[in-house]
Amino acid sequence: MNDYRVDERGYYGAFGGAYVPEILRGAVEELQRRYVSILESAEFRREFDRLLRDYVGRPSPLYPAERLSEKYGCRIYLKREDLNHTGAHKINNTVGQILVARQLGKRRIVAETGAGQHGVAAATVCALMGMPCVVYMGKTDVERQRMNVERMRMLGAEVRPVVSGNMTLKDATNEAIRDWCAHPDDTYYIIGSTVGPHPYPDMVARLQSVISEEIRRQLLECEGRPNPDYLIACVGGGSNAAGTVYHFLDDPTVKILLAEAGGLGIDTPMSAATIHLGCKGILHGAHTLLMQDEDGQILEPYSISAGLDYPGIGPLHAHLFTERRAEVFAVNDDEALRAAYELTRLEGIIPALESAHALGVLPRVKFSLQDVVVLTVSGRGDKDLETYLKYMER
């Protein structure tokens, strides 16, 4: 049987590893040595479970979407991560990592953010724990995501605009790593997805795996079996998808469908479909698939959804694709917009634009009536209203 877990060297097949500057070696190796025992300790479990329940609002509902099911001729359940505190799945990860930081005796938090969703989730848990928080954000993103910048500031975080490169997520991540290099002893870096050097991809996947743990329990209750026929999730760096599939990876009867952002189309220069368009390289400490030119320069990704335009992808997902464990769809801007309106009008749920890419997979698959499909709605769409309205006017 294939093993989809990370190996002791930090690899998923050919992808992963920990390529960090010498100065970070100590901090990263300490995390590698300690993360599993911290995450499995009774003290961590107790505190994590308590915060997920009382602060985040878990378990999130598994909602049988009847009108959507009727439309696609199968039984669709929506995993409602949009109902979490701060409006997305990202809070599961930041709650977990701030507890890890505390266990390691760190006193200061840095984070990167693109659209601002991870920055807000990090600033939120820092407020909760009374820890200073610095969030690096590309200047371009600071300007186009004002509301999230103001939220982070209200929460007490310092937002540092990054002016290198294209002034977006990749550059913000570089800057956060640079800060960590300057303060390796007292600072903990909360990464927002299943990316970065080992052990981050595995640690974030484990923290988000509360999603698939709940799906199993909830499906057993309403379907009499814990396993669905299909799982569907969108992929930026891969954390909500990793959380959705985690406990189903070794069951080949569960089909995994992932949606990456096609942008204007994978045959145009305006795309963020890393798995379709990428080739092997190293970004932010790990071997993975990357959008790059012939000289290895990272290409600027494009998607209508600010949470999906990352030029890399988690090493786990690169592996799942290479091993054909997951089928990956490039869902374009217009398909995602159409899917978002469809969910809104059929079910009264306005999804995040990222999640709308997962919904955009539904018309591409031929389901049968008894198929049980679980689709993760990773976040709510309040932040995307302007984009949605602009589309409606056309």
Ligand X SMILES: *Cc1c(COP(=O)(O)O)cnc(C)c1O
Report the catalytic residues. 90, 112, 378
Number of residues that bind ligand X (CB under 6 A): 19
Using CB under 6 A as the binding rule, whether residue 171 contacts ligand X is answered as: no
- Binding test (CB under 6 A) with ligand X, winner from 119, 199, 238, 360: 238
Q: Which among 104-112, 222-230, 332-340, 349-357 is the span making contact with ligand X, rule CB under 6 A? A: 349-357
Residue 173, interface with ligand X (CB under 6 A)? no
Our CB check for ligand X shows the closer of 103 and 126 to be: 126
Give the nearest distance from C-beta 27 to ligand X in angstroms. 22
Task: Rule CB under 6 A: choose which of 84, 86, 148, 355 binds ligand X.
Answer: 355
Between residue 76 and residue 95, which ones bind ligand X under the rule CB under 6 A?
A: 88, 90
**Closer Cβ to ligand X, 20 or 204, answer by number:** 204
Please identify, using beta-carbon distances, which residue of 335 and 371 lies nearer to ligand X: 335
3-state secondary structure the chain: CCCCCCCCCCEECCEECCCCCHHHHHHHHHHHHHHHHHHHCHHHHHHHHHHHHHHHCCCCCEEECHHHHHHHCCEEEEEEHHHCHHHECHHHHHHHHHHHHHHCCCCEEEEEECCCHHHHHHHHHHHHHCCCEEEEEEHHHHHHCHHHHHHHHHCCCEEEEECCCCCCHHHHHHHHHHHHHHCCCCEEEECCCCCCCCCHHHHHHHHHCHHHHHHHHHHHHHHCCCCCCEEEEECCCCHHHHHHHHHHCCCCCCEEEEEEEEECCCCCCCCCCHHHHCEEEEECCEEEEECECCCCCECCCCCCCCCCCCCCCCHHHHHHHHCCCEEEEEEEHHHHHHHHHHHHHHHCCCECHHHHHHHCCHHHCCCCCCCEEEEEECEECHHHHHHHHHHHHC
Per CB under 6 A, which of residues 374..393 are in contact with ligand X? Answer: 378-379
Site string for ligand X, 94-123 (x = CB under 6 A): -----------------------x------
Residues found near ligand X in the complex (CB under 6 A): 88, 90, 117, 193, 234-241, 307-308, 352, 354-355, 378-379
